[in-house]
Structure 1
Amino acid sequence: MHNFIPPERFFAYLTWTEIEQLPNKANTVLIQPVGAIEQHGPHLPLLVDSAIGLGVLGEALTRLNPHIPAYALPPLHYGKSNEHRHFPGTISLSATTVLNTLMEIGESLYRAGFRKLILMNSHGGQPQVMEIAATDLHARYEDFWLFPIFTWRVTQEHKSLMSDKEVQLALHAGDAETSLMLALLPEQVRMRQAVREYPPEQPGRLGAKGALTFSWLTHNLSSSGVVGDATAASQEKGEAILDLLARGWCELLEEVYHFQSC
């Protein structure tokens, strides 16, 4: 049940009496991994975002100082994935459903005495929902501190492993995600079916990625479901990315533990 998460750090393995007796619950760090079940091209399984979140978090928790109380909640495998709706297998919840789910999880944890919750999101289609949930929960309970963090943003070092074009244009199922999956679940990666496909160029400054963008669905950008170069991926690169992300998350968990109310 705990997958990549160290069992002693898996919240759902605790009993209610153990949770009741936890010391310093207000300073205990809880992490809610949020992923997606959606297409990732012809070479990757649907659970990429969920697997990456759990793999990175599990490695970070393994490295974390054992004296820092931190627990991973059971993952939310479904997310808001309607941009991939044209590709079979994608399962999408509405933004309202994801938001309400996070709000109710947060309220349950607040009632139990917890005051620090990281919303660890690994799917690029829903960071705004995480941010709204975090703000709304904090507005409702002003001593409840939430941290909506995208899995890939704890460090920028991994971008040095990618080509310039990949950094600028890749959005989905490209080099980085494929490499990381080769490190985490290599038996589930079909590299013979990996493809290289980038979005069509737009005039001026508008693009599918960046500060000046437009509304799009994945099939507007790619016929394969890949937006990037999956053929450039390697397990060695994936292991390096995993190390960098896990290091960044380990540091973040310590920062949240030491975070003081504003």
Structure 2
Amino acid sequence: MFHGLIPADRYYAYLSFRDIESMPNKENVIIIQTVGAVEQHGPHLPLMTDAAIGLYIVGKTLEQLDHDKSPTIYVLPPQYSGYSVEHTSFCGTISLSASTLTNVLMDIGDSVYRAGFRKLLFFNSHGGQPQVTEIVARDLRKRHSDLMLFSIFAWDLPNIAATLVTPHEFKYGIHAGEIETSLMLVILKEYVKMNLAEKEYPPTLVPDGGLLRIDAGLTYAWMTKDLSQSGVIGDPTEATSDKGEQILASLIASFKKLLLEIDAFNSHV
């Protein structure tokens, strides 16, 4: 029951130390550490939205893999809290400092290596911390030259979200908007309060057509309170479970393909 969305036979913490000690071909086993967040997502979504999305993608992907033909994969207990400093002005957000999250993930990586595994995937589903997991992966690679590291941001997986929402929403709906709300209507519908959903786009802090952006690329340091009073950046009122099902299916298909590539990957050629 502690494995949640992860298939029980893929949950690392259910193994005994003897299981791990005697596991064959450990250097090709893929270990996944999900990294999420516990942070405000407006008045209509639960704090665990990012963590829930990441766990759903991982769990449903593993359900679809053929156990006889698929890679051997185990998922570590989730790292729920992450680096969410941009949301700390909103009540309820639990944020680790970047240094704390870095140290935690480094220690986990060292432990995975010490157990004999040589493929570790950080699967991050919070937009505020891809840089942290990328730095950790690089530092672990430097420390352990035969450890293969993969730092994956869930929203970098190819998906069809852009085809289901307006261009304006796709560009500016970066937090608790239509896309995330649609996903949560599938993942944790009973905790989505659509009656409280409200639309709020950020003020025009940078000119349209300019080089500066709020979402990615040539961006600047912002706090959520700079962009939103409600905690929402986007329009969740247009969210539907049908859109959520389609987006999730595309994310899961991409992650399945990625896992098969990681299974075949060998950096020591």
**What TM-score do you get using the length of structure 1 for normalisation?**
0.98
Deviates more, 1:17-26 or 1:90-99: 17-26
Q: Contact between 2:159 and 2:251, CA under 8 Å: does it hold in 1?
A: no
Q: Which amino acid aligns with 1:247?
A: A
1:173: Cα distance to partner? 0.6
**Contact 1:199/1:208 (CA < 8 Å) preserved in 2?**
no
Give, in whole Å, the separation in 2 of the partners of 1:191 and 1:240. Answer: 19
> Runs in 1 of length 4+ with deviation above 6 angstroms?
none
Which stretches in structure 2 are left out of the alignment for 5+ residues? Answer: none
Does structure 1 residue 41 correspond to structure 2 residue 42?
A: yes
Taking the aligned partners of 2:124 and 2:56, their CA distance within structure 1 comes to: 13
Q: How many residues align?
A: 262
Quote the Cα distance in structure 2 between the aligned partners of 1:169 and 1:158.
13
Other-structure match for 1:236: 242
Matched, 1:223 2:226: no
Give the TM-score normalised by structure 2: 0.95
SS at match of 2:121: strand
Task: Look up the match of 1:199.
Answer: 202
Deviation at 1:205, TM superposition (A): 2.7
Between 1:165-174 and 1:182-191, the stretch displaced more is 165-174
| Aligned-residue offset at 1:195 | 1.1
State the identity as a percent: 51
Deviation at 1:252, TM superposition (A): 0.9
Tell me the SS of whatever aligns to 2:256: helix
Is structure 2 residue 257 aligned with structure 1 residue 256? no
2:130 counterpart of 1:127: yes
- The answer for the alignment partner of 1:159 in structure 2 is 162
1:143-197 per-position Cα deviation (integer Å, ceiling 9, x unaligned): 1011000012111323211211111112111111100000011000000111111
How far residue 210 of structure 1 moved from its aligned partner, in angstroms, is: 3.2
Give the counterpart letter for 1:155 in structure 2.
P
Q: Find the counterpart in structure 1 of residue 78 from structure 2.
A: 75
Using the alignment, how far apart are the partners of 2:157 and 2:214 within structure 1?
22
Query: Could you tell me how far apart the structure 2 residues matched to 1:210 and 1:37 are?
Result: 22
Q: Which residue of 2 aligns with 1:6?
A: 7
Structure 1 vs Structure 2 CA RMSD: 1.0
Q: Could you tell me which of 146, 149, 152 is aligned with 2:149? A: 146
Q: Partner residue of 1:118?
A: 121
User: Any stretches of 5+ residues in structure 1 without a counterpart?
Assistant: none
Partner Cα separation in structure 2 for residue 108 and residue 79 of structure 1: 19
